[in-house]
Amino acid sequence: MAERIIITGGSGRLGRSVVAGFAATEHEIISIDRELPEHPVEGADHRAVDLLDAEATAALFAEISPTAVISLAAIAVPFAAPEDVILTTNAAIAQNVTAAAVGSGATTVVIASSPSIMGYGSPAGWVPPRLPLDEDVPPQPWHAYGLSKHVAEQVAAMFAQQTDAVKFMSFRPCYVIAPEEWEGAPTQQGHTLRERLDDPALSAVAMFNYVDARDVTDFLLAALEHSDAVENGSAFFVGAADALARRPLAELIPEHFPDLAHLAGDLTGDATAFSIEKARRVLGWEPKRSWRTELAH
């Protein structure tokens, strides 16, 4: 059934692919960002609003009257702004968008989180209870970006405690690869994908995780289609089926994270450090793209 869907952050790295993918479906798509895009996606309605303005956000959502909201808008990179700005900005956007979604009558709200909430890379040391990480491993964020995304998940969970008329969920997209990055465009950290594969230290920062933006789009479509199967307030890891590494993580993790050597023994072959089994089981979603098939040769 066709829905009217708001996608916030539609002009961002992930947002562009999500808006394009959704615009190719039967759904009516309204992409919202701070400014109108220079190259709007055909088939989507583009609107501009400051999502930090709760009143303006609520008014625009009420005008649109969406059936579903996908919240991607945020400062998207750790340390890209002062810590207090990242925390207050991302937490406020999550609150304002979710409140506006509920107030405007949406029945499904999906909020973008991040795997970085787990705490890997902590200067004080980090040893999770197990690898691969799954949704039952407690987050231990160590920077404002990770904390802000953990707060966003808690916003979804909080609203789930307020009403059972709306389905809330959050998702943790791994290191997002936009389609043009397979052709050699720089990734979020400024390196090319080939450079990240050739030098494992570049991918170790993200625990060798990644996901194609189009697979995230497929996940979001599955989340909307199968929302009845989701426990309200749930979170999902969303990643590729393999690691962004030429060698098994059973070898690489002990080299780059010595404290985790005792946890890495089962990460043989192309196994990842992040489990996507929950998304597979609950939503029937399966990532279709891998660096092994998508990387331009």
User: What does the pLDDT look like over 81-126, one tens digit per residue?
Assistant: 999 999 999 999 999 999 999 999 999 999 999 999 999 999 999 9
Bond prior to 132 in cis (omega within 30° of 0): yes
Tell me the average pLDDT of the chain.
96
Looking up tokens 């609107």 gives 47
Beta strand pairing call for 167-173 and 176-177: unpaired
Any idea where the domains of the chain sit in the sequence?
4-178+212-240+275-288
Question: What is the predicted pLDDT for the residue at 297?
Answer: 58
- Give me the CATH topology for the region 4-178+212-240+275-288: Rossmann fold (3.40.50)
> How far from chain centre, in Å, is Cα 289?
16
pTM (global) more than 0.95: yes
Question: What is the predicted pLDDT for the residue at 267?
Answer: 98
pLDDT in tens, 171-200: 999 999 999 999 999 998 899 999 999 999
Instruction: Report the C-alpha gap between 23 and 242 in whole angstroms.
Output: 28
Three-state secondary structure of the chain: CCCEEEEECCCCHHHHHHHHHHHCCCCEEEEEECCCCCCCCCCEEEEECCCCCHHHHHHHHHHHCCCEEEECCCCCCCCCCCHHHHHHHHHHHHHHHHHHHHHCCCCEEEEECCHHHHCCCCCCCCCCCCCCECCCCCCCCCCHHHHHHHHHHHHHHHHHHHCCCCEEEEEEECCEECHHHHHCCCCCCCCCHHHHHHCHHHHHCCCCCCEEHHHHHHHHHHHHHCHHHCCCCEEEEECCCCCCCCCCHHHHHHHHCHHHHHHCCCCCCCCCCECCHHHHHHHCCCCCCCHHHHCCC
Which positions of the chain have pLDDT values less than 50?
none
> How far from chain centre, in Å, is Cα 245?
21
